[in-house]
Every structure is written in structure tokens, then in C-alpha cells.
Amino acid sequence: MGLGSKSQLLSKIATNDKHGENSPYFDGWKAYDKDPFHPTKNPQGIIQMGLAENQLCFDLVEEWIRNNPKASICTPEGVNQFRDVAIFQDYHGLPEFRNAVARFMSKIRGGRVTFDPDRILMSGGATGANELIMFCLADPGDAFLVPTPYYPAFNRDLSWRTGIQIIPFHTDSSNNFKITREALEAAYNKAQQENINVKGLIITNPSNPLGCTVDTETLKSLVSFINEKSIHLVCDEIYSATVFSSPSFVSVSEVIQEMECNRDLIHIVYSLSKDMGFPGFRVGIVYSYNDGVVSCGRKMSSFGLVSSQTQHLLAAMLSDEKFMGKYLAESSRRLGKRFNIFTEGVEKVGITCLPSNAGLFCWMNLRSLLKEKTFEGEMQLWRVIINDVKLNVSPGSSFHCVEPGWFRVCFANMDEETVEIALKRIREFVGKETEKPVKVKRWQRNLRLSFSSRRFDETVMSPHGIMSPHSPIPHSPLVKAT
Ligand SMILES: Cc1ncc(COP(=O)(O)O)c(C=O)c1O
């Protein structure tokens, strides 16, 4: 039986490619999986800079766990709560967990806003939360507007199983990738003309991949826009506590306190994957101001409940005000320090990053190094960076950026020694061990010399996945889409 007839045995979802795995974003993961860097076992391997993970404060968390053995049900101190926690399966979630999350979300917003624990819905990470909110707000064929550049896995999370469409609208470097009302309006009007039912707008604030917070004026204009059109606004605020320098984070929840707005249209997606560095715990949250969404979403939570063991532990940790205060301050300080080490390190060889104040990554500008200022040129440079420089960074095209030459580089998923090795590799690639300003022409010559089409074919796959292996790999990149 041929593959074609075999695939007809499966559903349309199983056989379509809207999961978005056919992207260099995921191909970089596969290349890394084949040759991962290790300081002693594989010092020439690829350094993973495509993973938006926050590993900078585990020492603090581990200390808290040691000091609070009662919070874990698998310790002599906590085992007497084992039975109650093990049998708990209510899709409302443990009340103490929802209370703790509501207070934590308020704390991150400087106490300027409070959250009602009864509006907190659980889900399997922000991945599940984004899909859950789409299921509640839109039908197959309906559309959501998304500013570019955007998180590559949105294609999977928002549309693969729900059948909704993503309508990208563009931002560019001329105003530091700020969302403009004009671009939004144009995308909305075009969709209307094409008879597409636009149900909403989704943004990430702080932005992945830009690492910037959205300013209050922009947020207000977005809230006005969605009110005028009577469509929804979903704010994915998963990076809200990663802000490390001014301006500080402003949440949509604060903005709607100050303006006339139909709150039924406002929804926040959150998770502990970035702010606390716990992507493995799969703690995702939808906070909706809409009673209908709360009621339906609560029932949908059954598909992605957070384990009660995790809820139990986190209820205790997040409620420890003193610890959380210390954690948030220290995490922000360490992220800022790491950001400075990286950006100053690349500046020494003439590379700049978008000025940013949040996130676990930099948006690095390599436009001047492109052999040709096209997306093919960007892919060529990217392949050289993976194959020769041995860094897995993510090309801007995988974030649907409209300008070739931007790359997202994650800096918080490794220790300082590894960052230094990555910086050294970049400097060597530039051909300068010293700190002299880089001559771009020399870079370009190097790129031409080191790029080989054999590597392109054999090592890293094509931009559109023509050569992407679809056979299972040891660690599925879909599982690790960060
Ligand atoms: C903007 C954004 N939303 C959602 C997610 C998914 O997060 P989670 O691990 O909580 O599913 C990510 C992960 O990188 C992200 O960057």
C-alpha cells in the first residue's frame, strides 16, 4: 500500500502539515539533537541558543524545596497529604493553587491589579492555554490577527487542531517593530473584503521574539480597536516577570482599569514556563474576564489538567511571599546581567541587537552580513551559523519577520561559561579574536568561503522542510517548542 492511500486512513488533522514543524526553527532543534554541545564530552558540539528557557535561578528554587519538605508529598514531612492530593482531580483546580496563582500574577504587576481566582483556568502550559482560548472564541475557518514577528509554534497552538486561521500583519525595524494601528486596520479590512470572519487579535507581551514590552499607548490603541470592531484581544503574558530593565511591564489587565472597554473581549494567557523556569510542570493559565469563556474553558480544562502534585507544591511555593519577592528580584537581576554579557559581547565585533528590556533572548541584527538581502540569503547565513559556528539560533523568517537578517538568540538556558564559548565562536567567525571593530566585507568573504552546499544538503534541512526528517527523533521538537 502506498503512502498516499495509507494516509487516507487517518484524519485531516493527522495528515495536514499545519503543525508548523516544517520550519527552520524546528530544523535547528534537530541539528542540535544530533550534535549537542557538552563542555567535556562534546566541546565542539552545537550550542543550543534556540531554547527560550530560564535556568538562571534554579539554585534559589532548590534551596526553597530543601527548606520546605512539607510542600512535597513524597517526603516524610509531606507524605500524610499524599492520599488527598493523589485522588484530587477536580477541573477547578486546588483552591489554594488558584489563590496562589492569582496573587502571584498580581505581584508581577506590582500589585496594581488583582485577579479573581475563580476566573483562573488550568491548561497544559501556555501551549494548551492558547489552544483552549481559541476553541472558546473561534470556529474552524475564523481568523485571528497576529503581529509579526511571532512565536513560531503559534501555527500549531492556535490553528492546527482548532482549524482557525492566522492572519499575520507586519511590523518592521523602522519603528523598532512596534505594532501600528494602520497595519492592524489594513489587515482587518483586507480580511473583511475576503469575507474572512476575524474573531480577534493575539499579541505576546513582552514579545517573543523581540524581548520588548508593549507600551501603554499601544495597548490602549489595541483595546480601542478590538472594542470598535467587537472582536477579542488575547494577550499572551507568559514573559511578564522576565522584564529586567525599564520600562516596566504593563499588562492589559491594568490598561482596561483605566478605560471604557467591554471586558468580555479580554483574555490573558499565562504559564510558569518562563517566569519560574518550569516548562516541564506544564502549568498553563487562561484568565478570562468573560463568564461564558470561564464556564466553557473550565470544562475544557479536563483535557489539560495540571497534576495535583504540581499544584500542591506550587501553591506552597507561590504563597511564600518572602521567597517570591526575593526570587522575582533576583531573577530579573540575573537576566539583565546575562543580557548585558551577551549584547556587549557581540557588540565588540560590531553586531547589534534590538534594544529590549525583557525575555530570555535577544533579537540580533545580522543584516549587514547577508550575502544577499533576501530570505535565501538569511537561510545561507543561518546554515553557516549552525554548521560552522555551531550555534543553534533561530532565523527571523521562522518568526514570519518581513525583513531578512534578524535572528533570535536565547541566552538564559546555559551557564556563563557556555555563553562565553558562544561569544568566542562568534568572534572567531568574524575572524577577529581581538576587540577591533568588525569589517563587514571580511565577514562576507568568510561566509562565502565557509558555506558549502554539501552541508546544506546533508546536515541541516531546507527552509521549507523538504528535507526535514519526519521520522521520530529521540526528542521531538514539537514537545520542546519554546
Ligand atoms: C509566546 C509563547 N507562548 C506560549 C509558549 C508555550 O509555553 P508553554 O511551555 O507554557 O507551553 C511559549 C514558549 O516558548 C511562548 O514563547
Phi, psi of 445 (to 5 degrees): -65, -45
What's the confidence (pLDDT) of residue 482? 53
Active-site annotation holds for 385: no
What's the confidence (pLDDT) of residue 262? 98
29 and 147 both lie in a single domain: no
Give the number of the atom of ligand 1 that is nearest the alpha carbon of residue 129. 11
Alpha-carbon distance 141 to 469, whole Å? 29
pLDDT digit string, tens, across residues 121-137:
999 999 999 999 999 99
pLDDT digit string, tens, across residues 319-344:
999 999 999 999 999 999 999 999 99
217 and 77 both lie in a single domain: yes
207 touches ligand 1 (CB under 6 Å): no
167 and 306 both lie in a single domain: yes
Number of neighbours of residue 260 by Cβ within 10 angstroms: 8
Residue 405 domain-assigned (yes or no)? yes
Catalytic residue among 179, 226, 238, 256: 238
What's the confidence (pLDDT) of residue 30? 84
Instruction: Mention every residue, 6+ apart, whose C-beta is less than 8 A from residue 358.
Output: 206, 211, 212, 213, 239, 242, 243, 244, 249
482 touches ligand 1 (CB under 6 Å): yes
Active-site annotation holds for 441: no
Alpha-carbon distance 471 to 477, whole Å? 12
Residue 67 domain-assigned (yes or no)? yes
Catalytic residue among 25, 32, 150, 151: 151
- Whether the pLDDT of residue 446 is over 70: the answer is no
DSSP-derived letter for residue 386 is I
190 and 270 both lie in a single domain: yes
Residue 437 domain-assigned (yes or no)? yes
Q: Mean pLDDT for the chain?
A: 88
Alpha-carbon distance 408 to 216, whole Å? 25
Active-site annotation holds for 270: no
- Whether the pLDDT of residue 120 is over 60: the answer is yes
294 and 402 both lie in a single domain: no
**Band (475; pLDDT cuts 50, 70, 90):** very low
296 and 417 both lie in a single domain: no
22 and 146 both lie in a single domain: no
What's the confidence (pLDDT) of residue 94? 94
Active-site annotation holds for 151: yes
Residue 40 domain-assigned (yes or no)? yes
Q: How many domains does the chain have?
A: 2
Cα 421 to middle of ligand 1, angstroms = 27
282 and 423 both lie in a single domain: no
Cα 238 to middle of ligand 1, angstroms = 7
Task: Cell 510558569: give the residue.
Answer: 272
Q: Three-class SS of residue 233?
A: strand
pLDDT digit string, tens, across residues 428-445:
887 643 344 444 444 333
- Whether the pLDDT of residue 316 is over 80: the answer is yes
Cα 482 to middle of ligand 1, angstroms = 6
Identity of the amino acid at 457: D
Residue 327 domain-assigned (yes or no)? no
Taking alpha carbons only, the member of 325, 331, 336 closest to residue 244 is: 336
Alpha-carbon distance 422 to 441, whole Å? 22
Instruction: Mention every residue, 6+ apart, whose C-beta is less than 8 A from residue 315.
Output: 94, 96, 97, 99, 100
Give the number of the atom of ligand 1 that is nearest the alpha carbon of residue 272. 10
- Whether the pLDDT of residue 466 is over 90: the answer is no
Residue 324 domain-assigned (yes or no)? no
What mean pLDDT do residues 449-472 have?
30
Q: Which domain holds residue 156?
A: 60-319
125 touches ligand 1 (CB under 6 Å): yes
148 touches ligand 1 (CB under 6 Å): no
Atom 12, ligand 1: which residue's CA is nearest? 482
Number of neighbours of residue 427 by Cβ within 10 angstroms: 19
Question: CATH code at 454?
Answer: 3.90.1150.10
Residue 394 domain-assigned (yes or no)? yes
Alpha-carbon distance 329 to 332, whole Å? 5
161 and 273 both lie in a single domain: yes
What's the confidence (pLDDT) of residue 477? 39
Burial of 364 (0-12, 13-18, 19+ CB in 10 A): buried
**Band (452; pLDDT cuts 50, 70, 90):** very low
Domain end among 319, 351, 381: 319
306 and 380 both lie in a single domain: no
258 and 346 both lie in a single domain: no
284 touches ligand 1 (CB under 6 Å): yes
Question: CATH code at 238?
Answer: 3.40.640.10
Measured CA distances, 380 to 74, 79, 234, 458, 476 (Å)? 51, 56, 35, 14, 25
Name residue 232's beta-bridge partners: 200
Residue 99 domain-assigned (yes or no)? yes
Catalytic residue among 18, 30, 274, 432: 274
Helices 291-300 and 125-137: crossing angle in degrees, nearest 10, is 130
Catalytic residue among 25, 166, 203, 236: 236
What mean pLDDT do residues 281-308 have?
97
DSSP-derived letter for residue 356 is -
Beta-strand relationship, 266-271 and 283-288: antiparallel
What's the confidence (pLDDT) of residue 428? 86
145 and 253 both lie in a single domain: yes
Alpha-carbon distance 180 to 214, whole Å? 11
pLDDT digit string, tens, across residues 124-174:
999 999 999 999 999 999 999 999 999 999 999 999 999 999 999 999 999
Atom 14, ligand 1: which residue's CA is nearest? 482
